[in-house]
Amino acid sequence: MANTPPVVSIGNHSLLSNHWQKIQPWLTYSDADGNPAQSFQFFDSGTSATSGYFWTPSNTHWAANTIIDVAASDLSDVWLSSGSVSGSETMWVRAFDGTDWSTWTSFTLTTTPNTPPVAAINDQSLHVNTWAKVENWLSYSDANGDPATKYQFWDSGTSATSAYFWTPTNSHWAANTTIEVSAADLTNLWIQGGSTTGTETMWVRAFDGSDWGSWDSFGLTTTNSAPVATIGDHSVHMGQWVTVSNWLTTSDADNDTITNYQFWDSGTAATSAYFWTPTNSHWDANTTIDVSAADLANVWIQGGSATGSETMWVRAFDGTSWGNWDSFAVTSTVNTPPVATINDQSVHVNTWVKPEGWLGTSDAEGDTITKYQFWDGGTAATSAYFWTPTNAHWAASTPIDVSASDLDSLWIQGGSATGAETMYVRAFDGTAWSSWDSFTLTSTNTAPTVAINDHTLNAAQWAQLVNWTSASDVDGDPITKYQFWDGGTDANSGYFWTSTNSHWAASTPIEVSASDLADVWVRGGTAGGSEAMYVRAFDGTSWSAWDSFSLTSLPNHAPVATVNDQTLHVNEWSQISNLVSYSDADGNPATEYQFWDGTTAANSGYFWTSANSHWPAATVIDVGAADLGDVWMRGAPPPAPT
């Protein structure tokens, strides 16, 4: 069967100059027999050096009038480049289906002229020495939609202080130099504002891969707002020193750091105020005084030696520009010394107080008090004293200097004994000391109160004094010790007992620490009667008055012990504790018992204890109350046989 050749077609196309286009999307192939294309051939009749051309991986610029063979599988690798100038040319293509070639199909490729791109930068302002990215200012457009591939910049500012371009390859591009930057590197292009104010012209243009756009000029103005320094009018006392930094206010619209100041004094009188710096202790009038901002704290003004006013000036420099001079009046005035007073005060012994709360100060001119002096006239070892962080016990008759800022750290401790002393205070306003003001400091203490009520004890009865004693102190001082006294001198009267003395003699002071009060006992007398005893307390400073209390010892009543008549079998044993009944009118417990056997017959009953298994008759048998259970009674033995 005969083969039908394939058909291939391409329409006419236009491309901008120097643009690339894949041929495959333009090409249409068909075959009536359904045979796929095996290869293609292309032909370019445009012989001009500026005309379009074919490109394949094996040849980047196919010459005109050359048949170009391309396997169908490589068709996607065939490109067409438009010409470098405008114009039209005829090109051809045909396809092979493995048997026959199609007829050649021609198409026209027209290269259209390229519209150059437009790059523009509006006029800009930069603060001196400030950096800016150029890409943030740049606008780019291309009528053909071509992206920029590179840019060129030009700086016409030839002054050493003018602005300049910076790139990673050159940190300061010279003026009147073409600076070429690829579009990919545009983000790395910077401009620094000039080191002084002024305006210069710069240029920019862009390249779209075919043509450079026109140069666009823009003005770059380096700006700076001069700083503002002001000082208000002030009054100072004659001879008073003040730091200028406390008066000065500065501002800068650009937020530049102030680097320098200048001062000027127009007061030419020998008695007028003047400036002082570490380099000149008395600056002459009508002299420019340069001071770095770092040294501003070292600029002082001293008030004149006579009253009067003069005009002074100040201005500031922000590293670029000086601000305007600002004038201010300095008036030297007479100083009135301040007044410091403390009223008479009382403090509890050994109590700490801050005199700051007592102190009153005033100054007729409203001057700030800068420091104080204190003086202690109390020379006794037990008197009150001043304390500061630098001296824990200031000696009497010593001036104590305290800055106003440290006044909160000054303390007084009340004396360790009661009494009064004179102390003093005065204040300094930066120019003059006030007069000394005296005040009396009285160290006080209220003696404690202690009491024991009258009490009654049975004969020889013990009682713990801590249960009877009550003490109080209006100052809230703790009781540290007690003293006791026994006025009963009779041998059978009551007495005190402590762990250090089991029978304190009468008319003897007995001193006991408060922590040992529970260790003090009193014993009732061994015979009935009353006696006076005494107690007083000590609060660490003062003894209370003696408080007397009556101790009454009641007469003792003999106890009653009974055993009812008992009947026992011959040789029967009976425990006496089960038989004895005991009572005591005074409520005293039995301490011991005595037993007696009045029958002397050999075969009579008898008492038994663990100490003697057969107590003989007519013998006193002593037994402690705790051993009563150890006493037994035995019935008589049976009679002997006859």
Give residue for tokens 């500026």.
Answer: 50
Q: What is the pLDDT of residues 613-633, one digit of tens each?
A: 999 999 999 999 999 999 999
**Would you call 550 helix, strand, or coil by DSSP?**
strand
More confident residue, 603 or 134: 134
Taking the C-alpha atoms of residue 319 and residue 252, their distance in angstroms, rounded to an integer, is 11
3-state SS assignment for residue 80: strand
Q: Alpha-carbon Rg of the chain, whole angstroms?
A: 62
In 334-418, at which residue ranges do the beta strands (DSSP E only) sit? 339-341, 345-348, 352-353, 360-362, 371-376, 385-387, 400-403, 411-413
Per-residue pLDDT, averaged over 143-161, amounts to: 95
| Residues with Cβ within 8 Å of residue 531, at least 6 apart in sequence | 486, 487, 488, 490, 493, 494, 525, 550, 551, 553
Amino acid at 338: P
Residue 633 has, within 13 A of its CA and on its CB side, a CA count of: 22
Q: What is the pLDDT of residues 290-324, one digit of tens each?
A: 999 999 999 999 999 999 999 999 999 999 999 99
Exposure string for 73-111, b = 16+ CB within 10 A, e = fewer: eebeebbbbbbbeebebebbbbbbbeebebeebeeebeb
| Residues contacting residue 263 through CB under 8 Å, at least 6 positions apart | 244, 275, 283, 288, 289, 291, 299, 312, 313, 314
pLDDT at 642 over 90: no
Determine which of 266-270, 353-357, 400-404, 584-588 has the lowest per-residue pLDDT on average.
Answer: 584-588
pLDDT at 160 over 90: yes
CB-side neighbour CA atoms (13 Å) of 468: 24
364-394 pLDDT, tens digit each? 988 899 999 999 999 999 999 999 999 999 9
- Asked if residue 13 has pLDDT above 70, the reply is yes
Task: Give residue-wise pLDDT tens across range 235-260.
Answer: 999 988 999 999 999 999 999 999 99
What is the pTM assigned to this prediction? Answer: 0.50
> Above 70 in pLDDT, residue 199?
yes
**Tens of pLDDT, residues 478-498:** 999 999 999 999 999 999 999
What distances in angstroms separate CA 620 from CA 181, 349, 594, 597, one per listed residue?
A: 138, 68, 6, 8
For residue range 551-601, what is the model confidence (pLDDT) as tens digits?
Answer: 999 988 889 999 999 999 999 999 999 999 999 888 889 999 999 999 888
Mean pLDDT score across all residues of the chain: 95
- Residue 149 reports pLDDT greater than 70: yes
C-alpha closest to that of 587 among 456, 494, 458: 458
Is the distance from CB of 74 to CB of 23 less than 8 angstroms?
Answer: no
- For 219, the enclosing helix (H) or strand (E) is strand 216-223
Which pLDDT belongs to residue 640?
65
Mean pLDDT value across residues 464-487? 96
**Residue-wise pLDDT tens digits, 412-457:** 999 999 999 999 999 999 888 999 999 999 999 999 999 999 999 9
State residue 641's pLDDT score.
Answer: 66
The C-alpha atoms of residue 447 and residue 301 are separated, in whole angstroms, by: 59
Tens-place pLDDT, residues 495-531 = 999 999 999 999 999 999 999 999 999 999 988 899 9
Could you give the CA distance from residue 494 to residue 484 in angstroms, rounded to a whole number?
A: 13
The arithmetic mean of pLDDT across residues 99-113, rounded, is 95
- Look at residue 1 and tell me whether its pLDDT is greater than 80: no
Q: Which of 216, 257, 226, 247 is nearest to 119 (CA)?
A: 216
Coil, helix or strand for 409? helix
DSSP codes joined into one string, 252-286: -TT-PPP-EEEEEE---STTS-EEEBTTBSSPPTT
CA distance 371 to 388: 14
CA distances for 125 relative to 200, 220, 252, 336, 427, angstroms? 11, 6, 17, 56, 58
Main-chain phi, psi angles of 58, to 5 degrees: -90, -10
In this prediction, residue 210 has a pLDDT band, given cuts at 50, 70 and 90, of confident
Strand partners, 512: 482
Residues 6+ apart with CB under 8 A from 410: 354, 355, 356, 374, 386, 387, 388, 400, 402
Relative to beta strand 371-376, strand 495-497 is unpaired
Lowest mean pLDDT among 28-32, 85-89, 131-135: 85-89
Report the alpha-carbon angle 399-401-404, nearest 5: 145
Under DSSP, is residue 485 helix (H, G, I), strand (E, B) or coil? strand
Distances (CA, A) of 87 to 4, 83, 109, 113: 37, 8, 8, 8
What pLDDT does residue 242 have? 94
Residue 396: closest CA among 370, 415, 368: 415
CA distances from 523 to 411, 519, 551 (A): 51, 13, 10
Nearest to 140 by CA among 204, 197, 95, 72: 204
Q: Looking at residue 636, what is its pLDDT?
A: 84
